[in-house]
Chains A and B, each alone.
Chain A
């Protein structure tokens, strides 16, 4: 019997393995390039400064349906509705940010109502407000 015939099943296994790896590669690439869990950094554009400050310190506020993330502090919507409590939290967070602080609200598609509370807080506390629409599955990198 020819020795080369002993290699053929091995080659079958190898080529099969290659196919599987190519498949895994394609699936990985597709799942990674999809929208799930995309890491995003929101960068304020300094050329758009609308007031007389050279540099501003954004205080990120992520508006979702059931809660607000004030920088990294999660405040449930029930507590956001308590105006004095929420405004106090915003004030404390803003004071930590620096002299040129402004609120940068990142609005998720279901976060419109939360955004209204943030807008009211900004107005009440005399803070500047910027806002940006974000997708629901974006993971914000600070």
Chain B
């Protein structure tokens, strides 16, 4: 960069030095902008996926994921309530997030409408609950959590976050997308889940 030299004026000299600094700074900033733009543009993010999705029939714990949150099905609790009602008629019980109805062939559950204060579970609390359940379950390696996910961008992100945390904790995860307008049914005493649609 060209600079004036040979002046005896101290004030002019100091301004020239300052100008040097400013010009160099601009150069560095330009360079940084170009490099960062190129690096970020070309960056390829890796997303790891299981090679084949396991079926939900052997899941120990089931969750529904919507854009609003993650909701445990609490099917064991629902089935217990249903079994306690010893009658052949169609039955209905409620858990925190779902309405369950049972007839002779299957148990169907439908998500409750949105209510104030009901926002689903957060990932740390789910993890804590699963760790607690896993401790009481001797078959640690086979512990398996299954998600039924609404086809929605927010729900997808929520599921991926939850799956990443569960996999870090060595908990097997499966999932299935489901049409949000359909219901989820359990057949064969709740062993198998059938996302309908």
Contact = CB atoms under 8 A, between A and B. Distances in A.
Contacts of A29: 36, 40
Interface stretch (B107-115, B117-125, B135-143, B150-158): B150-158
A103 B53 CA distance: 11
B80 interface: no
A43 B9 contact: no
Given A7-B15, A10-B19, A25 B50 contact: no
B52 A134 contact: no
Given A11-B22, A45-B51, A48-B50, A2 B11 contact: yes
A40 B9 contact: no
B59 to A, nearest CB: 15
A102 B33 contact: no
Contacts of A25: 29, 32-33, 36
Contacts, number: 132
Interface in A15-35: 15, 17-18, 21-22, 24-25, 28-29, 32-33
Given A32-B40, A33-B40, A14 B23 contact: yes
Interface stretch (A49-57, A72-80, A81-89): A49-57
B1 interface: no
B112 to A, nearest CB: 22
- Name the interface size band of chain A: 35 or more
A112 B29 CA distance: 45
A11 B16 CA distance: 10
B101 interface: no
A67 interface: no
A115 B15 CA distance: 67
Given A7-B19, A133-B149, A42 B47 contact: yes
Sorted from nearest, which 6 A-B pairs have the closest CB atoms? Answer: A133-B156, A32-B40, A112-B151, A132-B49, A48-B50, A50-B52
30 contacts: A3-B7, A3-B12, A4-B9, A7-B16, A10-B19, A14-B23, A18-B22, A22-B29, A25-B36, A29-B36, A40-B44, A41-B44, A42-B47, A43-B49, A44-B51, A45-B49, A50-B50, A104-B49, A104-B51, A109-B152, A109-B153, A110-B151, A112-B179, A130-B49, A132-B47, A133-B156, A133-B159, A133-B160, A135-B153, A136-B153
Interface of A: 2-4, 7, 10-11, 14-15, 17-18, 21-22, 24-25, 28-29, 32-33, 38-46, 48-51, 56, 58, 102, 104, 107, 109-112, 115-116, 128-136, 141
Interface of B: 7, 9, 11-12, 15-16, 18-19, 22-23, 25-26, 29-30, 32-33, 36-37, 40-54, 149, 151-153, 156-157, 159-160, 175, 177, 179, 197
